[in-house]
Chains A and B, each alone.
Chain A
Amino acid sequence: MNTKESLLKEAGYWYNFHRMSYINRRAKKVFAEETVEDNTEEWLAERIAEPNTTGDWQFYDEPAVAVRRAFVAELENGRAAHR
């Protein structure tokens, strides 16, 4: 397991194979796998540490409107977050 994966796991994120992303249901935050790969460990640690003040699911990177809608619906059903 590399450092970025360790950071995410320790912070309570689970990898979702279908959505190619790391999800934390409690924090309501989602990191796309490619976003994790494209950024540094420092960047990732800062984003993990920052509080989600949006009152909604927070995505890194923000997807298109329809994609967000579908993803949030799946998350709210609990399916994606528990995989």
Chain B
Amino acid sequence: MAERRTVEDRLRSEYAALLPVMHRTRTEVETEVQHMLLRATLNLHQYERIVVRARLKDCESAIDALGRRAKFGFFDADHPEQYSLTSLPDLVGVRVLTFPQRRLEEVRETLLPRIAGWVADHIEPIVFKYTGRWNPGDLVRSEIQILSLLIGLFWEAEHSAIYKPSPDLRGVAPRMKDRSSAVIAALQEFESEFGRLIEEEATNSQDPDRP
């Protein structure tokens, strides 16, 4: 007798079926976000950045994320029909990285009207996260994150070091929490001070008495 397909195998099939839709949604969200931010991007000073990055959640990460929502992290093999990758909030992800802080606010204000009805899940004041469907009829949900470029790059390095090489290393993450928080606090302080100094410099440069 043939073996019963596991929940994971069913989800892998679902992922393959969803992939073309995910690609289309990613292209649409990324392109529209870049278009909405075009004016702000063209107005940037040389030292400022607005970077838009898009990604699709990979198959095993998606299954893993769904599994972590299940009781004790196990799928109920007797009821596979209750699981669908479309329930994940971030199959499509767009991250907008900004530097310095004042650009973050500008980006947020620009994008907010387009995602007004989305669910907000912020980690204030570090990252502003919104999840929803870019078009009302979209099969998959998208997540837009707006955050500091410095913290975003740190997270990318941290995430790829702690989570990606081996799921076994996930246990390390809680023990690194204090160190990670200290790095984020230092980056925030750097950005805040940098923002203060460039404002000060801009004010001083308009002073007619300045030599």
Contacts and interface: CB of A to CB of B under 8 A. Distances in A.
Interface in B52-111: 68, 70-79
B170 A18 contact: yes
Given A64-B79, A65-B78, A20 B170 contact: no
Contacts of A32: 71-72
Interface residues of B, number: 15
B171 A63 contact: no
A36 B202 CA distance: 54
B170 A64 contact: no
A65 B170 CA distance: 27
B76 A66 contact: yes
A5 to B, nearest CB: 11
Contacts of B79: 64, 66
Contact of B74 (A17, A61, A67, A83): A67
B171 A20 contact: no
B9 to A, nearest CB: 15
Nearest to B71: A63
Contacts of A71: 72, 74
B71 A83 contact: no
B71 A67 contact: yes
A20 B73 contact: yes
Interface residues of A, number: 16
Contacts of A17: 170-171, 174
Nearest to A83: B171
Contact of B76 (A20, A21, A30, A64): A64
Interface in A1-36: 17-21, 30, 32
Nearest to A18: B73
Contacts of A66: 74, 76-79
A80 B29 CA distance: 41
Contacts of B68: 20
B174 A63 contact: no
Contacts of A49: none
A6 B190 CA distance: 36
Contacts of B77: 66, 70
Nearest to B82: A64
A18 B170 CA distance: 8
Taking each of B71, B78, B167, which has the highest tally of chain A beta carbons within 10 Å of its own beta carbon? B71
A76 to B, nearest CB: 15
Interface of B: 68, 70-79, 167, 170-171, 174
